[in-house]
Every structure is written in structure tokens, then in C-alpha cells.
Amino acid sequence: MKSFSYLEPAALQEALELLKNNKGKIKVLAGGTDFLVQYKEGRYNPDMVMSLRGFSALQGITIGLAEIRVGAMTTIAQVEQSEVITRYLPALGLAAGMIGSVQVRNRATIGGNLCNAAPSADTAPILIAYGAKATIVGQTGARVIALENFFKGPGQTALLPDELLTEVTIPIPPGNSATSYLKKSRRQTMDIATVGVAVHVWVSPEINRIDNARIVLGAVGPYPFRARQAEGLLLHNLPGSELFKQAAQRAGEEARPINDVRASAWYRREVVQVLTEWALDDVFMERLGIKLRN
Amino acid sequence: MTAENIIGKRIPSIDAQEKVTGRAVFGSDLVFPGMLYGSILRSRLAHARIVHIDIARAQRVPGVIDILTGADCPTERFGTFIFDESLLAREKVRFAGEEVALVVAIDRETAMEAVGLIEVKYEELLIVLNPEQAMLPGASLLHENHAQNIAYEVHLERGDVDAAFKSSYRIYEHEFATSMVHQSYLETTGAVADADSNGRITIWAGIQNPVGARWAYAQALGVTPDRIRIIQPYMGGGFGGKLEPKLPALCALAAFKLRRPVKIVQSRSEEFMAGSPRVPIKYRLKTGVSKEGRILAKEAYLIGDNGAYTRWASAILSTAAYRVDALYEIPNIRTTGYLVYTNKAPTSAFRGFGNGQTHFALESQIDMIAHDIGIDPAEIRTLNATRPGHTNVHGWFFRTAGLKECIQKATESSGWKEKLGQGRGKKGIGIGCCVHVSSNRAYKKEFDGAAAMVRLDESGIIEVYSGEADIGQGARTIFAQVAAEELGFPFEKVRIHAVDTSSVQFAWGTFGSRATYVGGNAVKKAAEDLRRKVLDYAGEKLNIDKSELNLRGSFIITKDGKQWGLAEIGFNYMCDHAGSYLTGFGHFIPDSAYPDENRYGNVSGAYPFGAHVAEVEVDTATGEIRVTNMVGVHDIGRTINPLLAEGQVEGGMAQGLGWALLENMVYDEQGRLKNPQFLDYQIPTMMDVPDSQVSFVETNEPSGPYGAKALGEPAIIPITPAIANAIYDAVGVRITDLPITPEKILRALKEKKGDKAKREEL
Amino acid sequence: MKLIELRVNEIGYQLWVWPHETLLTVLREKLGLTGAKEGCGVGECGACTVLIDNEPVNSCLMLAVEANGKAITTIEGLAQGESLHPVQEAFIEQGAVQCGFCTPGMVLTAKSLLDHYPEPTEEQIRKYMSGNLCRCTGYTKIVKGVAAAAQKLRGGK
């Protein structure tokens, strides 16, 4: 194992300068729970590792008038336990609690979970479903992109070598909407998703028509992505079991799973259908209290 | 704690305090002055000729002391039964992960760095991964002297099998397959070895058979066993996988050459790649029954996947071939088994030693038969169960056999009758049974049994010397209880000498569920001997007839109530004998027999039985399986320590649950292991294992210490088929190849639905 | 190398460490605190668990430099002299210890659990501690040990 030099900038600006001056040579360290695994396996061999623990600008959860901001260095445990998250973004809190172990959640960060860009990352589908935006900061300033455009492939993101993900911003969902994240893995806990499905729906008050819907699939493609055709089937319709079955089936068709040691592509597709249907049932019946038509 | 009647008490482990405080020193914790570290270069390829090994660049790394290759090993191969292995590969590598070179350096990182700089030129050979294909003519050979890659074979025939099938009411034929699963003890294998200027080697390693392993290690190193001393530190689990593992010998090879202490600890992925996982076995099982469900004949065909080297696998295939025949009284049996080399990790012992594999097959099939002829699966087992006093077709004699009682207790406490067949569609209940041995004479030709010493020192302390290893299961505690009971001595004051081959007597070690039955018996006899000697000496000193003396609570008590402390006796004896301690010697030889050339002969002194009931919930949408309850009942003769015995069963059932549902080593087409980490090779967590209820049936085996029989291995066996049977009860699909994954369930459910739809169409 | 300060079991240390060294390596090899074990090296087994500011972390997945300035509790620091922590006592009494390799991590995670949830349900125990693997016990007696420790702590011991 080759050692590396360790940098611990004391401010965001300093971190950005270091990134700019050492383009491509720096590996950014958040909680380290993914980095160290990959480093030990020899998948990373960086010259420099830059920790973001030296300043607090990227830490914490704040609530604004219309949105919630989660700093990239906020730990998964903080997300899981946050009262703000539990109240306004409950499905995100639950998804955070599905990651790894207590030990891992105490170290891992939301920024790390996203930047590591594993297709199975548990926070990604639900954040995309919530319509989260990623704030990316570089030397020249900040840019904000929709999180669904953040992922480019396994381990690949829209971040340029001299940029940092500083926070995710999630619009506070209106009262007539609901979300759900369902995950299947081989073990009950301590496992990465074989399939993850996040659903977010908005309904018209009183008539309960589906005004907007997001269905996001995790672990069944190179990165988490929206099943847009399935979403389209739901749009402007009234919630019903038959409709959900159709949407779920379409989501299964939209999935692009692979065969691996965890499951076959066939099984993943089947589970996408099941979870999509369950998640839709869950958001309407459990969260919105709407009775389904057939 | 009172001095008497300590047998049957819930005594916490004698070493638990050392462990909860972190003071217990495990092999991987050891550090010695001047110690060097070894790191192993392993083959990337599954089958290749080694053309050249270039160590020049690696040697130049500052801090590298030496690099060993196959050329440093004796030319003679070593092994347990079949001599086919070398400490470092010579000429050929036969599996991905095989040890090719060992770098010894001043620290671990330097050694690892140098490993990365060794360049090996290989000439790739055709690989064979599937044992059935490996047996075909023309298949690539791993070992030139083993035609068709067959390492070992078994052929057995008892009674008149063909006639029995002819007279059978129904005949069932099914195929089953068990998977390659890893012991996954939490401490990876490691060792420190040193050699003095006379070439005497000392190895500190947590292994299961410290004394017995010296024979194989001596052969591997090309020295005589007297040159090797093994000291056993605390060890983090074994489950069969640390039965004379290769690594300590490799460590000794370097220490012997360099005459310096060398430490090697395997990483978890090395453990997976090059450990000794369970022998996967495929079965074709044909069973004929009468109308009432009595088993009349059984014909089995087995193919075991040996991996690249044999280790204990020949004995495992033999066990797999016929131990299960002790479960039920079956008069006509024909069995053929082959153990076949493949380019995968060498497979070997894992709790159950082949017996678990065959129990999965038979206990699944018995269930299928019961459902087909409409008998309660528990009843068909009771009907056929081996009874006490029976001698089976292989000559095994069952002095005690509590299988019926185990089945009864397990079904009663689980509410079997009310639940069976009631939960179709989701919930299910299933049963599995087992028989095992308490030590097995067939493993070792020389002898079976165990020896021990128990001594009284000048401070009045009793110390037990046994070479049978505590591998985490609690043998030390059991031995201390036995000695305390026999001597009427306070348990807290009994000490157990750590296994050091230079001070204990010979011992085969902890495998074959030997420790309590043979090891405990030996300690009991040694304690009896000491007791006799203490009374003799005290009688002599006090000038009292020894029949008037009693030994209780550290005191000799005379009939008229006078007391003489053991400390004083110990001190006086030592002074009277110029430093000699009062020492009791004992050994136990089970009344078993080494099997003849037809494998006929009573291999064990006592046979433990067990029955497990599992309850499951199956999600028919995803195929997911949750085990919701496990009930384990074992006939262990007599329970010496319920706290520890329950722990054995609870742990065994969890391990069997992992085997049934989660665990599987998967190789790619190049023969590389795809999941050499706990991330992808998953053992059960606390969330995957339900609470369980464990109880015992006491048959009081006359030959056992206080009536005890074995437990360690039986604990894992019945639960795996019980889970498979519960799944069938829940959703009506039968998975015959392990592991039973949600994917297999879902596929089977869809096929079943499809079949049904097709039938309805017609 | 970097100079760091650690407070381990109430003792302050100043140490030179390599940037890539994990906290586990430093504890075991530099401070001789071998109670934390390496079972997998990748955060899957929990045998290396230590408490940082009273919260459990996998010391194999943390660079020592990242622990600079932190207060760390290892298993060696849990008992007060010969007086065991209630979790340790309960583990002994309930038979929660077999080979003992997972035990230090298991005990520390249990201690943290009980700090957060003094009256945990069985479900809470199982979920909180699922990052600590044990291959010997099947967990039944560990769960009982944690429940018994909770009772000891509530009963003022």
C-alpha cells in the first residue's frame, strides 16, 4: 500500500485552491468508509488525500422557507436522527437508516454516499424523488444541478476535478404529496441494495388526481435513474391498483439491471415491479390515506 | 459455588472475563522482539505451469529480508491422508489464490509491497471447475497421478438392495446439491513461528489440533515432529477450518530458514480464497419405502468437489457416504461416492464434516416422501428412527439413542401439530433430524481416545493438562467442571493449562466432536487417579485407613470431622518427593473399532442425536424468506453445562441458517472467487437470526463422562433441511440446491403457477 | 508522517503516524491496545469497534489522522479497575461469550446502545448491533446479555 500525503484545509476556499493546484491528484475524503475499503483493495492509489473535517461549512442540516439544506459532510447518522428530516423528509431519514451499520453511519456522510456514486447508494433514489439539487462549488463559483443529473456512471459524477459537492437542497414537499423508499437486499441489514425504489407523488386536493410523480430506481442501472415512462402512466390519472400494476410493470421494463453475485438481472427486474407497486400502495394508502380504485 | 454437583450447572465460561475485558491474547495479537512479517504472493490463475519467478525487483525493496518459493520446500508433498500439497507451489498452481511465494520483511507493509513486485511467468493450463466435467475422459488433470481427477472413492453395499427396491411400495429418486460455504470464524488464520539455533521450531497459532498437527507440519517442513512445539493462544473460532491449516507451517518454514520469529496473518479475502471451505457434494438419492413409510432401501451416488488439494476431504467424503445411515434403521444400502479435484480452493472440514451435506439431502427427501404418501413428516422420522440397542448395517452400535424423544420434544414445544400445513402461502414449519459421532476411530488408524493429567501443586491448586483444544466452544470450562466434580474441589480454583505441546500429552485435537466425550473422559480418569493418590498419601501421612477419608471442597475430611487442606497436602507431598507434584494420569479409550476394508465396524463410542424445527415466512412476491423461530433439541447424553450447551446449539443453528439461505462461494469462469469478502459472502447478522429455544434429552450414555455425548457438530446439521422443509410447507416449492435464495423461490413459484395455468388450459 | 493527539481511555498521547494508517493499526501496533480486533478490514464485521466521543465506529475504516484530537474508548478502558462494566458482567453471566474475538466490539456497541436506549426492545438491540458479526453464539445470548445489562444499569446495578 502506497502512502499518500494528507491535507486538512481549514476553510472551503483553501480546499478549492488545493483542488485546483493539484488537479486530478487529490482524492477527497469525507467519512472515509468507502474510500478506505477501496484504498485497501488497491482501487485507489492517490498521491494526496484531502479531508474536509477541518471546517464546519459543509456540516449540518438547516431549514429554510421552502427548502432543507443538508451539508455534504453531514453524517448519515445525523440525517437519520434529524428531527427536521424526520418531520419533512421522512423517507430520506428511513433510507439513511438502511445504510450499513451504526458504526458506518456514524462516519459516512451524505456527500460521500453521493460522490462515491455507487449504483446502489441508498440516499440517491430518495433524494432524486424529492427533487433534490446538488450545489457544486469550484474556484469560479457555484453551480446548482438537479441531483438526477449528478450521476454519470458507477463511481462517476458531474463533479469536475477541481469541484466539491457542498450541499444538497431539498424542496420541502407540499402537504398533498408523499414519498416512500423501499429496498431489498439479501440480508435484513448490513447490506447494499439489490434493488431500491423511491416514489414521490403529488395529488390534486380533493379529487386526488395524480398531478406529478417520480419513480426512481436504484441498483438496476449504472446509476439511480427515473423510470419516466412509468411516471408518465401515472400522470393525470386517479390512483388505482390496476394503474399501479401497469406502472410497476413499466418500471420493470425500464430497469437496466445486470447479473452479479447478488442477483440476476431477471430477479432484479421482478423486484423492481414488486417494490414499485408496493411503494405506490404505500404512498397512497399509508401516507396520503387515499383508498385505491381497482 | 459449591464444590459438589457442578455437573449440569449453568457455569459461565472460565475465560469469559479475560475476553470481555480485551485482555485475552489471540494469535493475531502476538508480537515478539525482532519479529518479521510475512506476506504471501498468491496465484492469479486457477491452473498454470510456473515458468519463472522473478524476485529481483522485490528483493531490492528496503526492509525485505528473504523471499521463499517452492524451491525452499521439501520435494516430498504432504497431506493428511493423500500427499498432494506443498507449502509453496512447485511447478504448477492449481487454484487462484494458491501460495506461490512468501516475502519476509521487517514489517507487514514492506512485505506486501514486495509481494506486488514479484513477477511470475505462467503458462496457462485448461481449468476444470465442475467435478462432473473433471471426471470426464480427456479433462485437464490437476494431479498427473489421479486419473479422471478422482482423488478418492467409496463403494458400499449392505443387504439386498435390488430385492428391497423390488418389494418397495414406492421408490423416490431426487438430486440434491450443497454449496461451497466458508467457516467464517471471526479471527482469520494467523501464526507466529520461531526457530532456535538448534533448529527447534515453536509455533504460536490458534489451531484446532495443536498436538496432532505436528505430524502434517513435520512432513510439510521435512523435519521430525519432535522438532515442532506448538503453543495455542486464544483463538477466534475454528468450525473445522483451523484443523491443521497450512499457514502456521508456512510461517515455520520461514522462521526455520531465518532463525527469527516470523508472523503471518491472513486477510479476510485470503481466508476466503485459500481457506478450506466445506466440501460441496452433489447427490442422486434413491429411496424405497413401504406403504407405512418404513425405509426399505437407499441408494446414493455422491460427487464431492475436492478443490485443488485433498486435506481432510477424503475422510469427509467417507463420512458423507455413510454416517447418515445411523439416523434411521435402513437394512439395505448401496452407496457410491467420488471425490474429484477441481481448480478451486481446497475444500475440507466444516462443522459436520460431510455429515451435514448428506443430512440436507436425506432429510429433504424424507420430507418429500412423507408428503407424497400422506404421513406427518415428524411421524415418518419417528417410525424409522434408530433405537437404543440397535446395531446398524455398518456395525455401529447405539448404546443410547434419543432421536424419538428429540423429535417428540421439538414438535411439542413448537406447536408442530397445530401449525403443520396450516400456513400455506406464507408461513411454514419444518423439521430436520441428525445423528453424529462422539469422536470417530475411522479418522486415525493409530488409536482413538484421549489422555490428560491433573496435578495438585504446593499451593493446593488443581491444574488440568489436556491437549484437546478449546477453540471457543468452551472445552476449558467443561474440563474444569469435570475435574472439580471428580475431586470435590471448588470450580473457581481449577486451572486449565494452555495447550503447549511440550507439556501436554498427545491429543488428536478438536474435531469429530471429540472434546467433551473423549477429552472429558480422560480428564475425569486423571482426576480419579489424582483423587486416589491424594487419599493414599493423606492416609499414609495421617496414619488413617484411606476408606475413612473423603475429599471435599479443598479438604481431606476424616470420619470424625477433622480437616486437612489440600494446600498442605500438596506442599507436603512436594517436599517429601523432592519437588514432584501429586499428579493424576488418565486416558480414555472408547470401545469403538477401526472399520475393516468394507468400512464395517463401530466407529464411535457414542452417537448423539438431534431434531430441529424451523418456522419461516416466505414473501411470495419477492421470494424472500424469514426464519421466525428455531427450536433445537439434542440428545447429548447428559448436559454438563446447559449455558454452554445452549450456546453451541444456538450458534450451530445460526450457522446452519446461513448455509441454508445466504452463504455461497461463487467462482467466475476463470476460477476466480467472486465474493471473497463479508460484503458479498454474507453470514447472518443479528437481524437475520431469530430467537431460538434449545433443550436437551438426557439418555445418560454409560460410556460418557457423567453420561455426556457430543454436541459441537450436530448443532449445525438438522436446521438446514428443517428450513428447506419449512419453506415447502409454506409455499409448496422444494429447493434442492443450496443456498435457497429468494430468486430460486420466486422462479419456482412462477414455474408452479405457470404449470398450474397450463394444466387449467388443458 | 503527521503528529496527532489522541485521548485513549482517558490517557493523552502524542504520536507520529503515517497518513494512511488506520486508527485500528495505531491502537493495536503503536499503543498495544489489542482488544480491538481486525476481522475483515473493511467495516463489515465490527470486531474493530471503538467509541469515539462515545459513539461506535469501525476503527479499521478511519484514518488515525482523522481521529486527531478525539476521545477514544477501547475495550481496555471500559472496566474501572477490576470492577467490570454492567455490559461486561452481563455478557459473562448470560453466556454471551464463546471464542471472544467479536466480544470487545460487541460490548462497546452494546454500551453505546444502552447510552442511547436505556430500555431497548429486542428489535432495537438487534438492529443497533447488526454491524457486529458473531459466528459462535447465534446471537441469542448476546441479545439476552444486552437486555440483562440494561436491567443492571436501570437498577443502579
Cell of A73: 459532510
Nearest-angstrom CA–CA distance, B377 and A30: 56
pLDDT of B393 higher than 70: yes
- Which of helix, strand or coil describes residue B64? strand
Distance from CA of A92 to the nearest CA of B (A): 22
Beta strands in chain A (DSSP E): 5-7, 26-29, 48-51, 61-63, 67-71, 133-138, 141-146, 151-153, 156-157, 164-171, 177-184, 195-203, 210-218, 225-226
pLDDT of residue A106: 98
Q: Which of B502, B504, B506 is nearest to B455 (CA)?
A: B504
Are C84 and B19 an interchain contact pair (Cβ–Cβ within 8 Å)? no
Nearest by Cα to B15 from B7, B6, B5, B23 = B23
* Average pLDDT rounded to a whole number, residues A274-293: 91
Q: At B3, is the pLDDT very low, low, confident or very high (cuts 50, 70, 90)?
A: very low
C82 Cβ contact list (under 8 Å, min separation 6): none
Q: What is the mean pLDDT of residues B238-255?
A: 98
Residue A117 has a pLDDT of 96
* Nearest-by-CA chain C residue for A37: C42
State the pLDDT at residue B406. 98
From chain C residues 67-126, the ones with a CB under 8 A of any chain A CB are 109, 112
Specify the residue for cell string 480419579.
B528
Cβ-nearest to A1 among B112, B623, B742: B112
Strand, coil or helix: what is B667?
strand
The predicted model gives B5-16 an average pLDDT of 96
Cell numbers at residue B675, please? 465474493
Statement: residue B553 has pLDDT above 90: no
Q: Which stretches of chain A sit within 8 Å of chain B by CB?
A: 1-2, 184, 186-192, 261-264, 266-267, 270-271, 274, 278
- Give residue C96's identity as a one-letter amino acid code: A
Beta carbons of B687 and C127 less than 8 Å apart = yes
State how far the Cα of B239 lies from the Cα of B258, in Å rounded to an integer.
32
Q: Which set of grid coordinates corresponds to residue A281?
A: 400502495
DSSP string over B695-737? EEE----TTSGGG----TTGGGTTHHHHHHHHHHHHHS----B
Average pLDDT along chain B:
96
Mean pLDDT throughout A62-68?
A: 97
Q: Side by side, which strands form the sheet with C71-73?
A: C11-17, C2-8, C71-73, C49-52, C55-58
Torsional class of A251: left (φ above 0), alpha (ψ -120 to 50), beta (otherwise)? alpha
What ipTM does this complex have? Answer: 0.98
Tens digit of each residue's pLDDT (9 = 90 or more) over B189-221? 999 999 999 999 999 999 999 999 999 999 999
List CB contacts (< 8 A) between A190 and chain C. Answer: 44, 130-131
Chain C residue numbers with beta carbons less than 8 Å from the beta carbon of A28 are none
DSSP string, chain C: -EEEEEEETTEEEEEEE-TT-BHHHIIIIIS--TTS--SSSSSSS-TTEEEETTEEEEGGGSBGGGGTT-EEE-GGGTSBTTB--HHHHHHHHTT--SS-SSHHHHHHHHHHHHHH-SS--HHHHHHHTTTS--SSSTTHHHHHHHHHHHHHHHTT-
- Check residue B1 and give its pLDDT: 36
- Tell me which residue in B31, B471, B651 faces C137 most closely, judged by beta carbons: B651
Does residue B282 have a pLDDT over 60?
A: yes
> Cα(B362)–Cα(B324) distance, rounded to whole angstroms?
8
For strand B36-42 and strand B262-265, is the pairing parallel, antiparallel, or unpaired?
parallel
| pLDDT per residue as tens digits for the range B423-476 | 667 999 999 999 999 999 998 889 999 999 999 999 999 999 999 999 999 999
Verify whether the Cβ–Cβ distance B112 to A189 is below 8 Å: no
Average pLDDT estimate for C88-109: 98
Helix (H) or strand (E) holding A91: helix A90-97
The beta-carbon neighbor of B236 closest among C84, C101, C138 is C101
Q: Hey, are the CB atoms on C136 and B473 less than 8 Å from each other? A: yes
Beta strands B170-177 and B332-341, pairing class: unpaired
**pLDDT for residue C26 is more than 50:** yes
Percent of chain B topping pLDDT 70: 99
Is B332's Cβ below 8 Å from some Cβ in C? no
C-alpha cell at A287: 401516507
Contacts of B687 in chain A (CB under 8 A): 187-190
Contacts of B187 in chain C (CB under 8 A): 37, 39, 99, 101
Q: Determine the pLDDT at residue C59.
A: 98
pLDDT at A244 over 90: yes
- Which of the four pLDDT bands, split at 50, 70 and 90, describes residue B377? very high
pLDDT tens per residue across span B286-326:
999 999 999 999 999 999 999 999 999 999 999 999 999 99
Q: How far apart are CA B636 and CA B12, in angstroms?
A: 19
B662 CB neighbours in chain A (<8 A) are: 186-187
A186, B741: Cβ pair inside 8 Å?
A: yes
Average pLDDT over residues B626-655: 98
Which pairing describes strands B228-231 and B201-204: parallel, antiparallel, or unpaired? Answer: parallel
Closest listed residue to residue B303, CA positions, set B366, B357, B344: B357
State residue B306 phi and psi, 5-degree precision. -80, -20
Contact B268 C125 (CB under 8 A): no
Closest CB to B22 among C44, C76, C130: C76
A221 Cα to chain B: minimum distance (Å): 19
pLDDT at B4 over 90: no
Q: Are the C-beta atoms of residues B122 and B49 closer than 8 Å to each other? A: yes
Mutation target for B interface from C28, C29, C30, C98: give the one with most B CBs within 10 A.
Answer: C98
Closest Cβ opposite residue A37 in set C42, C49, C63: C42
Gap from B52 CA to chain C (nearest CA, Å)? 33
Q: Which residues contact B697 (CB under 8 A, 6 or more apart)?
A: B402, B405, B406, B409, B609, B633, B634, B635, B636
The answer to whether B679 contacts A271, with C-beta atoms less than 8 Å apart, is no
What residue of B is the nearest CA neighbor of A101? B685
Contact A262 B743 (CB under 8 A): no
Query: Is the pLDDT assigned to residue B758 strictly greater than 90?
Result: no
Contacts of C20 in chain A (CB under 8 A): 1-4, 39
Residue B351: pLDDT above 70? yes
Instruction: List the chains bordering chain C where 3 or more Cβ pairs fall under 8 Å.
Output: A, B
3-state secondary structure of A280: helix
Q: What is the mean pLDDT of residues A140-167?
A: 96
- Answer yes or no: is pLDDT of B690 > 70: yes
Distance, in angstroms, between B474 CA and closest chain C CA? 7
Strand partners, A71: A167
Find residues 464-493 of chain B whose CB sits inside 8 Å of chain C. 471-474
**Residues 18 through 47 of chain B touching chain C, CB cutoff 8 Å:** 18-26, 28-29, 31
Cβ contacts of A266 on chain B, cutoff 8 Å: 743
pLDDT per position as a tens digit, B512-532: 999 999 999 999 999 999 999
Selected residue with higher pLDDT from A286 and B346: B346
What's the gap in Å between the CA of A34 and the closest CA on chain C? Answer: 8
At B301 the three-state DSSP class reads strand
pLDDT, average across residues C53-75: 97
B405 pLDDT higher than 80:
yes
3-state secondary structure B354-420: CHHHHHHHHHHHHHHHHHHHCCCHHHHHHHHECCCCCECCCCCECCCCCHHHHHHHHHHHHCHHHHC
Exposure string of B645-683, with b = 16+ CB inside 10 Å and e = fewer, is: bbbbbbbbbbbbbbbbbbbbbebeeebbbebbbbbbbbb
> How close does chain B come to A208, measured CA to CA in Å?
28
Q: Kindly tell me if the per-residue pLDDT of B2 is higher than 50.
A: no
pLDDT score at B756: 74
Distance from CA of A289 to the nearest CA of C (A): 27
* Cβ neighbours of residue B208 closer than 8 Å, sequence gap 6 or more: B238, B240, B242, B243, B244, B469, B471, B509, B510, B511
Arithmetic mean of pLDDT over chain C: 97
The Cα B391–Cα B642 span in angstroms is 30
* Residue among B643, B650, B679 whose CB faces C44 most closely: B679
All residues of chain C having their beta carbon less than 8 Å from the beta carbon of residue A36 are 22, 42-43, 60-63
Q: What's the full length of chain C, in residues?
A: 157
Question: Quick one: pLDDT band at residue A1, thresholds 50, 70, 90?
Answer: low
